[in-house]
């Protein structure tokens, strides 16, 4: 009944429909209508109630509500269990708690805003309300901990494909986990895991997608962008989120069937790092060189005057192309 009431409100989005009309249309009491409306409001739907006019669903609500996401999903595993928060400390923290308590593979956590969103290398992640997709996915991959880092590359390929399919924006992947448009970061990925020596308990892939942020804090303004600015039009977060889950599931299924080689090949094609002069800041050393490839472990291979260096972790910045 709740879904039927919601459909009726959606059909009349932006316009009032009286409680009496809903009750007549769906053959349900007015008290029941009121209770369902209250439950819909509690689950995040923006419904206005007017004593004389009835109920109206605000137009253009693009909340990441589970029912809205499910209606767009085609994936079989990812997103079958959805935990939605208006506000959360970090979706990765929440996903790790759920995973440790045995939630099924494919469980996702989404939030409208994160109070302490986290990035790589202990950085914070700017996560304003309703302006992005702050998402974590729990996987229980059947491979060993050594392969976990490649989940980040796999996620980057999936997210990049979804962005391209939904928005038409051509972005590129910067090793290992950033998606850039016009040299500015639109997506960051933070993969965390719990593992034994030879088996992964779970992997949490956290993705931050800047969808419609217009004003970034001053330290981010020169290096970050959002997709609606890139396209010049508004983007449905629900549609994009569903596409991300579908594409991520496609690449994950491929990895489980054929190993990482096809995904690494796709990553190479979509990379904006390969062939470029890069500066690498590792935990114990810094150097510069030309990024020539990634190896079978997903490590970046950088050619320096001293030889080829293998980079498994650290910060890589791409030097600007100098025009002659
Ligand atoms: C990075 O580029 O440094 C990675 C950023 C990852 C941000 C996402 S937002 C959803 C998830 N929850 C977090 O706290 N972080 C990740």
**Mean pLDDT, range 283-311, rounded to an integer:** 93
Identify the weakest region by mean pLDDT among 67-71, 202-206, 306-310: 67-71
Q: Residue written as tokens 């950085």?
A: 123
pLDDT at 43 over 80: no
Q: Indicate the class that CATH gives domain 2-57.
A: mainly alpha
Range(s) within the chain of domains with CATH label 1.10.10.10: 2-57
Ligand 1: centre distance to CA 6 (Å) = 32
Range(s) within the chain of domains with CATH label 2.30.30.100: 277-318
State which ligand 1 atom lies nearest to the alpha carbon of 178.
2
Residue 168 pLDDT? 93
pLDDT at 61 over 70: no
pLDDT at 59 over 70: no
**pTM assigned to the model:** 0.89
pLDDT in tens, 218-273: 999 999 999 999 999 999 999 999 999 999 999 999 999 999 999 999 999 999 99
Residue 321 pLDDT? 62
Domain covering 277-318 assigned CATH 3.40.50.2300 in the classification? no
Confidence of residue 155 (pLDDT cuts 50, 70, 90): very high
Ligand 1: centre distance to CA 106 (Å) = 18
Identify the weakest region by mean pLDDT among 100-109, 111-120, 153-162, 309-318: 309-318
Q: Indicate the class that CATH gives domain 66-270.
A: alpha beta
Ligand 1: centre distance to CA 125 (Å) = 6
Cβ burial 219-229 (10 Å sphere, 16+ → b, else e): eeeeebbbbbb
State which ligand 1 atom lies nearest to the alpha carbon of 91.
12
State which ligand 1 atom lies nearest to the alpha carbon of 185.
2
Other C-beta atoms closer than 10 Å to the C-beta of 124 total: 12
Ligand 1: centre distance to CA 107 (Å) = 17
**Mean pLDDT, range 303-321, rounded to an integer:** 88
**Mean pLDDT, range 109-138, rounded to an integer:** 96
pLDDT in tens, 160-205: 999 999 999 999 999 988 999 999 999 999 999 999 989 999 999 9
State which ligand 1 atom lies nearest to the alpha carbon of 188.
2
Residue 149 pLDDT? 86
Angle at 83 between CA 236 and CA 96, to 5 degrees: 115
Where does ligand 1 bind, in terms of residues with CB under 6 Å? 90-92, 114, 117-120, 123, 125, 134-136, 177-178, 188-190, 206-208
Residue 278 pLDDT? 95
CA-proximal residue: ligand 1, atom 11 (nearest):
206
d(CA 13, CA 72): 19
Range(s) within the chain of domains with CATH label 3.30.930.10: 66-270
Instruction: Name, in order, each residue with C-beta under 8 angstroms of 201's C-beta and a sequence gap of 6 or more.
Output: 99, 100, 140, 193, 194, 195
Identify the weakest region by mean pLDDT among 17-26, 71-80, 102-111: 17-26
Ligand 1: centre distance to CA 160 (Å) = 16
Ligand 1: centre distance to CA 23 (Å) = 44
Q: Which residues pair with 174 in a beta bridge?
A: 178
Q: Residue written as tokens 């970061």?
A: 185
Specify burial of residue 92 (Cβ count, 10 A radius: 0-12, 13-18, 19+): buried
d(CA 37, CA 248): 34
Backbone angles phi, psi at 96, to 5 degrees: -65, -40
Per the prediction, the chain carries an average pLDDT of 92
Ligand 1: centre distance to CA 48 (Å) = 34
State which ligand 1 atom lies nearest to the alpha carbon of 125.
7
Confidence of residue 62 (pLDDT cuts 50, 70, 90): confident
Identify the weakest region by mean pLDDT among 9-13, 36-40, 56-60: 56-60
Instruction: Using a pLDDT cut of 70, give the percent of the chain over it.
Output: 98
CA-proximal residue: ligand 1, atom 15 (nearest):
118
- Which residue numbers belong to the known binding site for biotin? 90-92, 114, 118-120, 185
Q: Is the peptide bond before 176 cis (omega within 30 degrees of 0)?
A: yes
Q: Which of 187, 188, 191, 192 most suits a substitution to test ligand 1, by most atoms within 8 Å of the C-beta?
A: 188
């Amino acid at each position: 009944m709740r879904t039927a009431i919601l459909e009726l409100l959606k059909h009349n989005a932006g316009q009032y429909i009286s409680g009496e009309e809903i009750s007549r249309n769906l053959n349900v009491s007015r008290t029941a209508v009121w209770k369902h409306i209250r439950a819909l409001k509690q689950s995040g739907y923006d419904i206005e109630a007017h004593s004389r006019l009835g109920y109206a669903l605000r137009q253009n609500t693009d909340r990441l509500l589970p029912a809205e996401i499910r209606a767009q999903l085609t994936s079989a595993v990812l997103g079958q269990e959805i935990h939605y928060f208006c506000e959360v400390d970090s979706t990765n923290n929440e996903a790790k708690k759920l995973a440790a308590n045995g939630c099924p593979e494919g469980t996702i956590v989404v939030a409208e805003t994160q109070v302490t969103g986290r990035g790589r290398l202990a950085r914070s992640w700017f996560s304003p309300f309703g302006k992005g997709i702050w998402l974590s996915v729990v996987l229980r991959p059947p491979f060993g901990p050594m392969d976990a880092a490649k989940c980040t590359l796999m996620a980057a390929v999936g997210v990049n494909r979804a962005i391209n399919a939904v928005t038409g924006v051509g972005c590129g992947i910067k090793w290992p986990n950033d998606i850039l448009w016009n040299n500015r970061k639109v997506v960051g990925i933070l993969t965390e895991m719990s593992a034994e020596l030879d088996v992964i308990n779970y992997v949490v892939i956290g993705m931050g997608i800047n969808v419609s942020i217009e004003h970034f804090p001053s330290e981010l303004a020169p290096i970050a962008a959002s997709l609606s600015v890139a396209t010049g039009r508004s983007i449905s977060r629900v549609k994009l989120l569903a596409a991300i889950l579908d594409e991520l599931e496609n690449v994950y299924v491929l990895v489980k069937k054929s190993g990482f080689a096809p995904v690494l090949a796709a990553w190479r094609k979509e990379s904006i790092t390969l062939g470029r002069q890069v500066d690498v800041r590792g935990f114990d050393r810094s150097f510069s060189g030309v990024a020539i490839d990634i190896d079978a472990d997903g490590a970046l291979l950088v050619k320096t005057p001293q030889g080829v260096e293998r980079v498994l972790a650290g910060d890589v910045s791409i030097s600007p192309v100098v025009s002659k």
